[in-house]
C-alpha cells in the first residue's frame, strides 16, 4: 500500500518512508491511498486474539512493506505484560449502557503509549528498509502526555535523538515531573515560555526550514516527528477500537453487528480520527462524540462548518486537550472531499493566513452526520469526576470526565440510549489535585509538593498508587531548561552538538 500527502504536492511513498518522515514535504499529512474493509466475522474474531496480535493484524493492512514477522515482533515488544500489564485495553462496565475503555495501563499512564511504544520500533525498521544510516532527531511539541510517552518510547533507541518541548506553565505537576526526570543518553527536554500552540508552531516552523534541514543533514541528522501527524502513530490506535468492539460483543453488552458510539476526549483529533478510520474499515459505529474542553474550536467546527482558531487558548484541567489547531482534522477533510488535495491545501493556506476557513456544505453535512460535538467547562468536568465516583465507585481523570459528560449530553439531547464506549485516555493519578477536588477532598493541599496529592488520593479512594508515580519520588530532575519559543532552533543545534 502506498501513501499520499493530503496536499498533493509529493509523490506516493511506502509506509516505511511515511513513518520515517512524519510530515510530508509539502506540509501535508501522509494518508493511505486506500483502506481495507473487514467483514463482521473478521472483526468478531479479534476477540480470540491477544492485544498484540490484534495490533499486528491491523498494522499489516497498512504497513505492507513490513513482514508479518516484523510487525509481530514490534507489537509483542511494545505491548508486553511488563509494559502494559495483562490486559492493555480493558473494557469496564460502568454505567447501564456505558462502558469505559481504559487506555492508560502503559508505562506513562496515558493512551499515547499505544502509539509511542511501537513507533520507535517501526521507525528503526524503516531505517533498515530504506537503507539509510542517517540518524533521526525526533522533535516533539507536547501538551503533556505525548512528550513523556515519546521519551519513554525512544529513550536509548540507537540512531535516534529525542527532543521534547512542553509549555512550562501548561502541564500538570506529575506530567512535568515525568518529563524532567527522563533518563536515557539521547533525551532532551525543554520548557517553553508560551502555550502548546506556540510549541507546536515552533516545531512546524523548524520542519519547514530548508536551511536548518540542510545544516543538519551535513552533520548526519534528519528530523522526524512523533506527534500524531505521523502515520505510524495513528495506525496503532485503530486497533483498540476493533478490540473494544469485539470485547463488547463477547461481554454480551451488544449484539454482533449492532452499531455503537464512541465518546472521545479530543485535542489534536488523532485518537478520534483513528476511530473514524476503524468505521471506514467496517467497524459498526453509529457516530463519534467529539468531546472538548473550553478550547472548543472543534465543537464550533462540527456544528457550523467554520474552523476558526482566532480565540484565546484557555488553560484547563484537561491540559492534553488545550489545543486550537487540531492537525489531524486535515486528514478527515481529505477523506470527506474524496481526496481533493487542492481543496484541502486551500483551506490549510487560509488557516495559516487568516486563522480560519469554512468547508463546503457537503463536507459540513457529512461531518455533522458522523460526529456529535459537545464541550465541557471546568466546573462540569470537576463535578463529573465526583459524580461518577459517587454513583459508580469509579475514578476517572479530567479528560475522561470531559468525554463522559459529553456522552451524557448526547443522550439528553438525542434521546438515544445506544451503547456508548467512553475512551479513558489517562490515569487519574496523572491529575491528582483535580481529581481530589472532584471527589470533594481537595481542601488544604500543599501545592508545592506534588506527592501530597498523590498520597491523599490513594488514601481517600483506597486505590493503589501506580508504580510509575511512586518511582518519580526518587528520580533526580535532569532537564531544567526553560526557553523562549523563538530559541527552539538554536537549542536543537546545541543539543546535537552542531553549535556551542
Ligand atoms: C493527547 C490526549 C488527548 C487528545 O488526543 P488527540 O489524539 O490529540 O485528540 C486526550 N486525553 C489525553 C489524556 C491525552 O493525553
| pLDDT value of residue 113 | 97
Crossing angle between the packed helical segments 119-129 and 68-78, to the nearest 10 degrees: 150
The mean of the pLDDT values for the chain is 94
Has residue 132 got a pLDDT over 80?
A: no
Q: Where are the domains of the chain?
A: 88-108+232-429
Q: Please provide residue 247's backbone torsions phi and psi, each rounded to the nearest 5 degrees.
A: -65, -40
* Residue 71 cell numbers, joined: 510487525
Q: What is the whole-number distance in angstroms between the Cα of residue 230 and the centre of ligand 1?
A: 15
Report the percent of the chain where pLDDT is more than 70: 100
Distance between CA atoms of residues 282 and 225, nearest Å: 29
Pocket test for ligand 1, best of 108, 116, 265 (most atoms within 8 A of CB): 265
Classified as helix, coil or strand, 311 is coil
Beta bridge partners of 223: 137
Q: Following CA atoms 196, 199, 200, 205 in sequence, which dihedral angle do they give, to the nearest 10 degrees?
A: 160
Distance between CA atoms of residues 68 and 45, nearest Å: 18
Has residue 259 got a pLDDT over 80?
A: yes
**Structure confidence by residue, pLDDT tens digits, 271-296:** 999 999 999 999 999 999 999 999 99
Q: Is 274 exposed, middle or buried (0-12, 13-18, 19+ CB in 10 A)?
A: buried
Has residue 306 got a pLDDT over 80?
A: yes
Predicted model pTM: 0.94
- Alpha-carbon distances, residue 26 vs 7, 42, 338, 387 (angstroms): 7, 37, 19, 47
Mean pLDDT of all residues in 435-452: 91
Secondary structure (DSSP) of 167-198? ETTSS-HHHHHHHHT---TTEEEEEEES-HHH
Has residue 201 got a pLDDT over 90?
A: no
Q: Which residues contact 420 (CB under 8 A, 6 or more apart)?
A: 97, 98, 99, 260, 261, 262, 263, 289, 407, 410, 411
Mean pLDDT of all residues in 338-361: 97
8 A C-beta contact, residue 246 and residue 74:
no
Crossing angle between the packed helical segments 329-336 and 341-354, to the nearest 10 degrees: 140
Q: For residue 300, what pLDDT band results from cuts at 50, 70 and 90?
A: very high
Q: Is 270 in the pocket of ligand 1 (CB under 6 A)?
A: yes
Pairing label, strands 356-358, 98-102:
unpaired
8 A C-beta contact, residue 50 and residue 26:
no
**Structure confidence by residue, pLDDT tens digits, 72-99:** 999 999 999 999 999 999 999 999 999 9
Q: Is 234 in the pocket of ligand 1 (CB under 6 A)?
A: no
Q: What is the CA radius of gyration of the chain?
A: 21
Secondary structure (DSSP) of 458-485? HHHHT-PPPHHHHHHTTSPP----EEEG
Distance between CA atoms of residues 413 and 174, nearest Å: 36
Stronger pLDDT, 132 or 186, i.e. the higher one: 186
Classified as helix, coil or strand, 102 is strand
Pairing label, strands 221-225, 356-358:
unpaired
86 DSSP assignment: S
- Residue nearest to ligand 1 atom 11, measured at CA: 425
The Cα angle at residue 348 between residues 342 and 354, in degrees rounded to 5: 130
Distance between CA atoms of residues 412 and 362, nearest Å: 27
8 A C-beta contact, residue 103 and residue 424:
yes
Pairing label, strands 221-225, 260-265:
unpaired
Q: What is the whole-number distance in angstroms between the Cα of residue 113 and the centre of ligand 1?
A: 11
8 A C-beta contact, residue 263 and residue 422:
yes
Pick the atom of ligand 1 nearest to 104's CA: 13
Residue 4 neighbours by CB distance under 10 Å: 21
Q: For residue 207, what pLDDT band results from cuts at 50, 70 and 90?
A: confident
Q: For residue 196, what pLDDT band results from cuts at 50, 70 and 90?
A: confident
Pocket test for ligand 1, best of 273, 319, 399 (most atoms within 8 A of CB): 399
Has residue 499 got a pLDDT over 80?
A: no
CA atoms within 13 A on the CB side of 120: 24
Pick the atom of ligand 1 nearest to 265's CA: 10
Q: Is 104 in the pocket of ligand 1 (CB under 6 A)?
A: no
211 DSSP assignment: H
Q: Is 141 in the pocket of ligand 1 (CB under 6 A)?
A: no
Mean pLDDT of all residues in 180-189: 96
**Structure confidence by residue, pLDDT tens digits, 1-11:** 999 999 999 99
8 A C-beta contact, residue 264 and residue 291:
yes
Has residue 122 got a pLDDT over 80?
A: yes
* Residue 77 cell numbers, joined: 515488544
Q: Which residues contact 216 (CB under 8 A, 6 or more apart)?
A: 137, 222, 223, 496, 498
Has residue 500 got a pLDDT over 70?
A: no
- CA nearest 278: which of 262, 291, 266? 262
Q: Is 332 in the pocket of ligand 1 (CB under 6 A)?
A: no
- CA nearest 403: which of 432, 381, 371? 381
Q: What is the CATH number of domain 88-108+232-429?
A: 3.40.50.1100
Which residues are known to be catalytic?
A: 112
Has residue 450 got a pLDDT over 90?
A: no
DSSP H/E element including 288: strand 285-292
Amino acid at each position: 500500500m502506498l501513501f499520499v500527502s493530503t496536499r498533493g504536492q509529493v509523490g506516493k511513498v511506502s509506509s516505511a518512508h511515511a513513518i520515517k518522515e512524519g510530515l510530508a514535504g509539502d506540509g501535508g499529512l501522509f494518508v493511505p491511498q486506500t483502506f481495507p474493509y473487514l467483514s463482521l466475522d473478521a472483526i468478531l474474531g479479534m476477540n480470540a486474539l491477544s492485544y498484540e496480535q490484534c495490533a499486528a493484524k491491523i498494522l499489516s493492512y497498512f504497513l505492507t512493506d513490513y513482514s508479518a514477522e516484523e510487525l509481530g515482533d514490534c507489537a509483542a515488544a511494545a505491548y508486553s505484560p511488563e509494559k502494559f500489564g495483562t490486559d492493555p485495553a480493558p473494557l469496564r462496565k460502568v454505567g447501564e449502557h456505558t462502558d469505559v475503555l481504559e487506555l492508560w495501563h502503559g508505562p506513562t499512564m496515558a493512551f499515547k503509549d499505544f502509539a509511542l511504544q511501537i513507533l520507535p520500533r517501526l521507525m528503526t525498521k524503516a531505517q533498515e528498509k530504506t537503507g539509510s544510516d542517517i540518524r533521526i532527531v525526533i522533535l516533539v511539541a507536547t501538551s503533556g502526555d505525548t512528550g513523556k510517552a515519546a521519551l519513554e518510547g525512544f529513550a536509548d533507541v540507537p540512531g535516534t535523538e529525542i527532543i521534547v518541548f512542553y509549555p512550562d506553565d501548561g502541564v500538570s505537576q506529575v506530567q512535568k515531573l515525568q518529563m524532567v526526570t527522563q533518563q536515557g543518553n539521547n533525551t532532551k527536554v525543554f520548557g517553553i515560555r508560551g502555550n502548546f500552540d506556540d510549541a507546536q508552531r515552533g516545531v512546524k516552523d523548524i520542519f519547514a526550514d530548508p536551511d536548518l534541514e540542510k545544516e543538519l543533514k551535513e552533520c548526519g541528522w534528519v528530523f522526524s516527528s512523533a506527534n500524531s501527524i505521523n502515520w505510524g502513530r495513528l495506525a496503532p490506535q485503530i486497533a483498540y477500537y476493533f478490540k473494544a468492539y469485539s470485547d463488547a460483543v463477547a461481554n454480551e453488552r451488544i449484539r454482533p453487528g449492532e452499531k455503537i458510539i464512541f465518546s472521545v476526549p479530543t485535542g489534536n483529533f488523532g485518537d478520534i480520527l483513528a476511530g473514524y478510520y476503524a468505521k471506514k474499515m467496517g467497524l459498526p459505529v453509529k457516530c463519534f462524540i467529539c468531546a472538548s474542553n473550553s478550547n472548543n474550536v472543534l465543537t464550533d467546527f462540527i456544528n457550523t462548518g467554520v474552523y476558526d482558531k482566532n480565540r484565546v487558548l484557555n488553560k484547563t484541567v484537561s491540559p492534553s486537550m488545550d489545543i486550537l489547531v487540531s492537525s489531524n482534522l486535515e486528514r478527515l477533510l481529505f477523506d470527506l472531499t474524496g481526496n481533493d488535495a487542492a481543496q484541502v491545501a486551500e483551506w490549510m493556506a487560509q488557516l495559516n493566513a487568516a486563522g480560519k476557513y469554512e468547508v463546503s456544505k457537503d463536507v459540513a453535512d457529512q461531518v455533522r452526520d458522523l460526529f456529535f460535538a459537545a464541550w465541557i467547562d471546568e466546573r462540569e468536568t470537576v463535578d463529573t469526576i465526583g459524580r461518577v465516583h459517587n454513583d459508580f465507585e469509579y475514578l476517572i481523570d479530567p479528560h475522561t470526565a470531559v468525554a463522559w459528560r459529553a456522552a451524557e449530553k448526547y443522550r439528553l439531547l438525542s434521546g438515544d440510549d445506544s451503547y456508548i464506549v467512553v475512551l479513558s485516555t489517562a490515569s487519574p493519578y496523572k491529575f491528582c489535585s483535580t481529581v481530589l477536588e472532584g471527589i470533594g477532598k481537595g481542601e488544604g493541599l500543599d501545592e508545592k509538593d506534588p506527592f501530597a496529592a498523590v498520597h491523599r488520593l490513594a488514601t481517600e479512594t483506597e486505590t493503589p498508587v501506580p508504580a510509575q508515580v511512586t518511582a518519580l519520588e526518587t528520580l533526580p530532575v535532569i532537564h531544567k531548561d526553560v526557553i523562549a519559543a523563538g530559541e527552539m532552533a538554536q537549542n536543537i543545534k546545541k543539543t546535537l552538538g552542531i553549535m556551542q
